[in-house]
Every structure is written in C-alpha cells, then in structure tokens.
C-alpha cells in the first residue's frame, strides 16, 4: 500500500512543480504559452521514448487508436483549461475543477459497475457546497463561460483517466513499456497541438521570432524533460495502481499546493502579480475536506470488506 500512495503523492507534487514553474517562466520571460507547451511535450515525449530501453524504436503505442483518443482528450482538456484561466485565477480554477471527484465516481459506477462507497456522498456534497459559492459569484453564475469550459475540461480528464487506467500499454509490468506509452501520448498530444494551431492560422501568429526564441526552446526543453515527462509517467502509473477515482481525488490537492508555491514565488520576487484571495482559499480547503471524507469512506469500506466476521 505504501508504494501506490508514494507514487500518487509524487505525481501530485510533480504536477504542482510543473504548473508553478511554467507560470513563473511565462510571466518573467513573456513566453508564448502554446509554443512553450509544445516544446515541453516534444522534449518530454522524445526522452521517454528513448528511455524505453529498446535498441529498436518501439512504435506499438502509436498504432493503437486508444493512444490517439487519449491525446485528443488531453488537447481538449489543455485548451479548455487555458481558456478558463482567461476569466478566473489558478486557485479558482482548481476549486471549479474539483467537480471531477463526483464526476469520476459516477463514471466509474456507470462504466465499470463499481458503486461509490457507503457514506461517500457526504464528501461529494461538501465538494459541491464549496464550488457553488464560487459559481454564484461569477458574472452570470452558471452561464459564465468558465463554468462550461471547466465542465468540458473535467469530462476530458475523467475520460482520459479511465482510458489510461485500462490502456494495454499502461497495464504492463515492464517499466520500459510504461515509459514508451507515456512518451507516445506526449508526442501524439504535441502533434494534435500543432494540427490545432495550424487550423487556427499557423504557428507564426504574433511573429515567429516572438514565439520561437532561444529562451523558450531552452526552458521548454528543460521543463519538458525534468517536470512534464515525470509528471505524466507518475500520473499514469498512479492511475494504474490506485485507479482513476483515487487519483482524481488526490489531484484536488493541486490548487492548494499550487497556491503555496505561487505565493512563495511572489514573496521571493519571481513574479510580480498575486491572485490570492482568502475567501477562495477557504473554498479550496472545503474541497480538500470533502475529498478527505470521500477517501475515508472508501478506506473504511475496503477495511470492512477484508475484515472477517467474528
């Protein structure tokens, strides 16, 4: 049990560091967000394929339709999440994203027949109570564009997580196979990113020199290899070990941890703008509290199931 927990915790910490580092670099260097993400995906995917341990490049994952579908889900989730940040802060987006906890529980019940644990509904209710005030405070309430975009983002994340949990290459016990699978997903996502950008009018919007600078290429490669690639490997590994439900529940810690790193960067002078709001932080803590209730209910049911009657 310690290994799944350690892998899941490492995945959440790695994603938090990735988001915080990307935000600092984007703000300080004025990098193009799309180009920065694209370089990360290509660098991370290439390194993982090379680290797969085969003398001959194994392209099996690219031949599976599920790999490309997973890439589509990741592109849609990334695009919708980026659009959400045009209206709300990272912390507010994290609170809205907590809707994925009840969503994935319902999806797993419908898709795999795994019913939610008894008492789990209390945690889902607490999460909903934390989200509603934030939605009500937006202009137009539930009709605000950020709400619909975040729902699209979470549908894609939930579907992608469920697919990754059952993907043949992610079920392999060979570490090299998991590295090659994750690398393939990153490169497929990069290819789809490029296709979307070309459909929007080309990669030179805003000027090629402005987008493809040496700082962007260098930092995109560094972040892609040291943070993006490990984050994807750990998240897919965690999904395989603890299931999509528990991984998505653990991911509710991301906005709180991200807020802490962002405030540390602001205090250290790395960024000049802070979007911290105490009331939003309280809602984020409510989300974490609700998630803990959900996890506690699942642990309690699991222990009851394995404890023999007296």
Spatial separation of the C-alpha atoms in residues 16 and 155, rounded to whole Å: 21
Spatial separation of the C-alpha atoms in residues 168 and 278, rounded to whole Å: 44
Chain-centroid distance of CA 251 in Å reads 8
Q: What value does the mean pLDDT of the chain take?
A: 83
Sign of the Cα pseudo-torsion (233, 235, 238, 243, in order): negative
Give the per-residue pLDDT at 171: 80
Spatial separation of the C-alpha atoms in residues 252 and 161, rounded to whole Å: 15
Q: Render pLDDT for 63-107 as a digit per residue (tens, 0 to 9).
A: 888 888 888 888 788 778 767 876 887 788 888 988 989 998 898
Q: Which two tokens stand for residue 138?
A: 């937006």
Q: Which of 52-56, 101-105, 248-252 has the lowest mean pLDDT?
A: 52-56
Which string of b and e fits 62-94 if b means at least 16 CB within 10 Å?
Answer: eeeeebbebbebbbbbbbbbebbbebbbbbbbb
**Residue 99 DSSP one-character state:** T
Model confidence at 261, pLDDT cuts 50, 70, 90, reads confident
Q: Render pLDDT for 173-222 as a digit per residue (tens, 0 to 9).
A: 778 888 888 888 888 888 887 787 777 655 544 444 446 788 889 999 99
How many alpha carbons fall within 13 Å on the CB side of residue 222?
9
Give the per-residue pLDDT at 233: 92
Q: Which of 85-99, 146-160, 200-214, 242-256 has the lowest mean pLDDT?
A: 200-214
Helix axes 145-166, 229-250, angle to 10 degrees: 110
Give the per-residue pLDDT at 231: 92
Contact criterion met (CB below 8 Å) for 146 and 96: yes
* pLDDT greater than 80 at residue 151: yes
* pLDDT greater than 50 at residue 140: yes
Rounded percentage of the chain residues whose pLDDT exceeds 90: 22
Indicate the Cα dihedral angle 254, 5, 155, 180, nearest 10°: 100
Model confidence at 235, pLDDT cuts 50, 70, 90, reads very high
Domain ranges of the chain: 2-306
């Amino acid at each position: 049990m310690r290994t799944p927990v350690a892998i899941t915790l490492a995945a959440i910490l790695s994603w938090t560091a990735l988001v915080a580092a990307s935000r600092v670099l984007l703000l300080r260097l004025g990098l193009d967000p799309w180009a920065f993400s694209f370089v990360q995906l290509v660098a991370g995917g290439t390194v993982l394929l090379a680290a797969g341990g085969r003398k001959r490049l194994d392209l099996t994952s690219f031949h599976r339709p599920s790999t490309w579908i997973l890439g589509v889900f990741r592109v849609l989730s990334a695009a919708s999440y980026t659009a959400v940040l045009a209206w709300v802060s990272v912390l507010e987006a994290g609170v809205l994203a907590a809707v994925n906890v009840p969503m994935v529980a319902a999806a797993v019940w419908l898709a795999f027949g795994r019913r939610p644990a008894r008492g789990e509904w209390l945690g889902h209710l607490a999460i909903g109570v934390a989200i509603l005030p934030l939605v009500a405070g937006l202009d137009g309430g539930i009709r605000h564009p950020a709400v619909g975009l975040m729902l699209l983002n979470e549908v894609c994340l939930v579907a992608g997580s469920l697919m990754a949990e059952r993907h043949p290459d992610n079920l392999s016990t060979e570490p090299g196979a998991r590295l090659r699978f994750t690398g393939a997903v990153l490169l497929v996502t990069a290819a789809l990113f490029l296709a979307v950008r070309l459909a929007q009018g080309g990669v030179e919007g805003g000027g090629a020199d402005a987008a493809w600078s040496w700082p962007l290429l260098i930092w995109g490669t560094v972040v892609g290899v040291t943070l993006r690639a490990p984050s994807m490997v750990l998240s897919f590994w965690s999904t395989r070990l603890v299931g999509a439900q528990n991984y998505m529940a653990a991911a509710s810690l991301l906005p709180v941890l991200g807020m802490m790193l962002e405030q540390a960067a602001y205090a250290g002078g790395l960024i000049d703008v802070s979007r911290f709001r105490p009331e939003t932080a309280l809602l984020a803590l409510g989300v974490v509290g609700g998630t803990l209730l959900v996890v506690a209910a699942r642990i309690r049911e699991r222990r009851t199931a394995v404890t023999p009657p007296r």
